[in-house]
Amino acid sequence: SPHLSLPPPPSLSPPLSLPPPLSLSLSLSLSPSLFLSLEREVDVEREMEGEVEVVTPCPTESHGLQGTIKGHDLFGYVGIEAVLDQMRRKTMKAGFEFNIMVVGQSGLGKSTLVNTLFKSKVSRKSCSPNYEEKISKTVKLQSVSHVIEEKGVKMKLTVIDTPGFGDQINNENCWEPIVSYVNEQYERYLKEELYVNRKPRIPDTRVHCCVYFLPATGHWLRPIDVEFMKRLGKIVSIVPIIAKADTLTMEERQEFKQRIRQDLKANGIRVYPQTEYDEDPEDRILNDKIRENIPFAVVGTDKEHQVNGNKVLGRKTKWGIIEVENVAHCEFTNLRDLLIRSHLQDLKDVTHNIHYETFRVRRLNESNLTVHGLALSCFPMENGTHGTNGTNGTSDRSESESHL
């Protein structure tokens, strides 16, 4: 019949109007050889038309097409690298905070070492003209802050001292005030984060590093050393050092360092830098060298002496002058480089991304208790103590709930 119409001839290619699932199924039904030949034809056509393909973008599950364009593939200078100068100017203008805690019994030279590290009178002892060294009956944390500027870079340095630690006959639980202080700074930062109208820049009082002073006994770690570092190592980055290392011979120093490393490993004590935080092979190589030398045997002084016509920081003895910054005499420069020149930003990153994040997750999980009428700040910490929002140990429920 003239009115009959023949069906359209079959086609190997799927119609463009098909929905995505059907188009995909038809594409997958093609043989691999045919698929490869079609791709080769497309590549040949692109080459004939003078088309240059930088990198074939690959589809991802969540971001669509992605590709990589390297510098030699660009048509000209874009100026992306200028963002580094922008970041540098912004950082220099705003400055940054660095909070360091020094822990150890009296007489180990904590104040002197801090002054030596930053080449200025920054310790609490140095800032008090009528300061008298008294043995405290309890551990009382005291802090002093300074703004240090060097070559246009401003750093707000806060030094937290722990007078009274390890000075008593009975030092049981002498670490609890220190653990509470560290957690209180995390709590303060978390509250600032949870405000609806929070500050553009949250003041950072979190402890970025704890330098723990070991007496140069030449023996093993004391029970108080083991207990303190085991507890604090879970919530803050700890760097152990041997104080007043000039009282040991070089042979005694190496043997003592080896015993301490054995004790740290045997007791599962986590000291900075931890192996699990190494981000790439380059970091691992650098950190392995640091881990091999921990604990650093250091000598601190803020007095200068003439050595071969040059002024050097050192301690004068009847045998000669011990140069603080001479690696043949002590490992002060290793400690300085770790804390300031190579790992200062990493210490801040580990504090924020590891220790604070662990605290934050646990805190927000425990905040579900407020649904049942319990205060947010009453959940137990790792050390068995309870967080509070005041010096009297009571929690401010209304303030806590207003943040969440």
Confidence band for 168, pLDDT divided at 50, 70 and 90: confident
Dihedral-angle region of residue 304 (phi above 0 means left; psi in -120 to 50 means alpha; beta otherwise): beta
Confidence band for 265, pLDDT divided at 50, 70 and 90: very high
What is the structure's pLDDT at 121? Answer: 87
Q: Which residues contact 129 (CB under 8 A, 6 or more apart)?
A: none
Q: CATH 3.40.50.300 spans which residues of the chain?
A: 90-357
Q: Is the pLDDT of residue 10 over 90?
A: no
C-alpha to C-alpha distance for 256 and 333, rounded to whole angstroms: 19
Q: Tell me which of 190-199, 226-235, 386-395 is least confident.
A: 386-395
Overall fold of domain 90-357: Rossmann fold (3.40.50)
Give me the mean pLDDT over the 206-214 stretch.
98
Q: In this structure, how many other beta carbons lie within 10 angstroms of the beta carbon of residue 37?
A: 11
C-alpha to C-alpha distance for 170 and 174, rounded to whole angstroms: 9
Q: Is the pLDDT of residue 12 over 60?
A: no
Q: Is the pLDDT of residue 288 over 80?
A: yes
Of all residues in the chain, what percent carry a pLDDT higher than 70? 72
Cis omega before residue 295 (within 30°)? yes
Confidence band for 112, pLDDT divided at 50, 70 and 90: very high
Q: What is this structure's pTM?
A: 0.73
C-alpha to C-alpha distance for 105 and 193, rounded to whole angstroms: 35
Q: How far is CA 27 from CA 14, 21, 40, 87, 111, in A?
A: 7, 10, 16, 48, 73
Q: 105: closest CA among 214, 216, 10?
A: 214
Q: Tell me which of 113-127, 322-336, 377-391 is least confident.
A: 377-391
Of all residues in the chain, what percent carry a pLDDT higher than 90? 46
